[in-house]
Amino acid sequence: MSNTQQRQHARPAPAAIASEHTPLKARKVAFAWEGTPLHWIPGDPFATHTINVLHLLLPAGERWFVHVYKQVLPLIRDDRLREDVMGFIGQEAVHSQAHDDVLPHLREQGLDPTPYTAQVDWFFEKLLGDRTLPPGKPRAWWLKERVALIAAIEHYTAFLGDWVLNAEELDRRGADPMMLDLLRWHGAEEVEHRSVAFDLFLHVDGSYRRRVRTWAAAFSALVFLWQRGARFFMENDPSLTDGKASFGQFYRAGSRGVLPSTPAMLRSIPRYLSRTYHPSQEGSTAQAVAYLANSPGANGLADGRNGGR
């Protein structure tokens, strides 16, 4: 064995927890928005709108996941992984549509997000879309790069999913149950399928350098798009005279428990960059599956304001 082979052999590798694996299926969901107030976290427009940014990013973002994964499917040489990816595609397609369905309600409340969503569409469809690349290595490189970007983004969707499943402060503050159920159904499915994108990345490439590079790109893009989205909502909210969004507000909302805390977000960075990281080490499949079994929206109970709350 050469020195290089010995070094590679000795490197710690991602360690999956097998018991966290679960078969994936898309659920038929139903939500109704007529009764959801503009500030669905009462008295907290900033936290409301920071979470609302999800409705702007996810429709285009998750459509893009599906678009990229359909191109990867023929390259998968493992039957269980192929099934996982197909389940993932089904779930993300429903997520994208469910968040898109909130937008008409925002428009009715005087918040037309079209100027912002046009930028998000450009970002995913053009900047991260299929480029006119020659077949062979350049196309394969761009596909691997996007698979790695999705794995990095899914680290954060799983982080947010785990956060919202446990964000009891939102219940204590009287957050709208319909919106909470949408977020927790989606969050639970993110926790449920949290290993798929990373397993696919390991299957098609798994290079550590690519993991680090694409994490940096994904994290920077998420921070940039998110703060822009929060500012957009705060500045265009018809009920606010001088709506602003700042990092200080974000930090304080995180300390109150109505948004993820900044320290928790910072701690999640070295975890993803650890050579032994595997998403199955984070969050709880049992908690996610238990939520999904009782989620009114995931069981088609949108009428009667989410199962007669």
Q: How far is the CB of 91 from Fe ion (least distance, A)?
A: 6
Report 222-251 residues binding Fe ion (CB under 5 A): none
Binding segment for Fe ion among 119-127, 150-158, 200-208, 278-286 (CB under 5 A)? 150-158
Binders of Fe ion in range 10-39 (CB under 5 A): none
Residue 123 CB, nearest approach to Fe ion (Å): 17
CB of 23 to Fe ion, least distance (A): 16
Minimum distance between the CB of residue 62 and Fe ion, rounded to whole angstroms? 5
Q: What is the smallest separation between the CB atom of 27 and Fe ion, expressed in angstroms?
A: 12
User: Phi, psi at residue 227, to the nearest 5°?
Assistant: -70, -35
CB-wise, 111 or 288, nearer to Fe ion?
288
- Binding test (CB under 5 A) with Fe ion, winner from 39, 63, 95, 184: 95
Q: From residue 180 to residue 199, what is the string marking binding to Fe ion with x (rule CB under 5 A)?
A: ----------x---------
Smaller CB separation from Fe ion, 95 or 211: 95
Q: What is the dihedral of CA 194, 200, 203, 205, to 10 degrees?
A: -110
Contact between 48 and Fe ion by CB under 5 A: the answer reads no
Record the tokens describing residue 15, joined without a space: 């360690």
Among residues 48, 117, 157, 195, the one that binds Fe ion under rule CB under 5 A: 157
**Three-class SS string for the chain?**
CCHHHHHHHHCCCCCCCHHHCCCCCCCCCCCCCCCCCCCCCCCCHHHHHHHHHHHHHHHHHHHHHHHHHHHHHHHCCCHHHHHHHHHHHHHHHHHHHHHHCCHHHHHHCCCCCHHHHHHHHHHHHHHCCCCCCCCCHHHHHHHHHHHHHHHHHHHHHHHHHHHHHCCHHHHHCCCCHHHHHHHHHHHHHHHHCCCHHHHHHHHHCCCHHHHHHHHHHHHHHHHHHHHHHHHHHHHHCCCCCCCCCCHHHHHHHHHHCCCCCHHHHHHHHHHHHCCCCCHHHCCCHHHHHHHHHHCCHHHCCCHHHHHHC
When the beta carbons of 46 and 185 are compared against Fe ion, the nearer one is 185
Site size toward Fe ion, by CB under 5 A? 4
| Spatial separation of the C-alpha atoms in residues 19 and 167, rounded to whole Å | 25
Residue 148 near residue 73 (C-beta atoms within 8 A): no
Nearer to Fe ion, 70 or 275 (CB): 70
In this complex, which beta carbon is closest to Fe ion, that of residue 45 or of residue 59? 59
Q: Nearer to Fe ion by C-beta: 38 or 120? A: 120
Q: Where does this chain touch Fe ion (CB under 5 A) — which range of 84-92, 239-247, 274-282, 287-295? A: 84-92
CB nearest Fe ion: which residue? 95
Stretch that binds Fe ion, among 91-99, 204-212, 219-227, 241-249 (CB under 5 A): 91-99
Shortest gap between Cβ of 158 and Fe ion (angstroms)? 7
Q: Is 278 in the site for Fe ion (CB under 5 A)?
A: no
Contacts to Fe ion by CB under 5 A: 92, 95, 157, 190
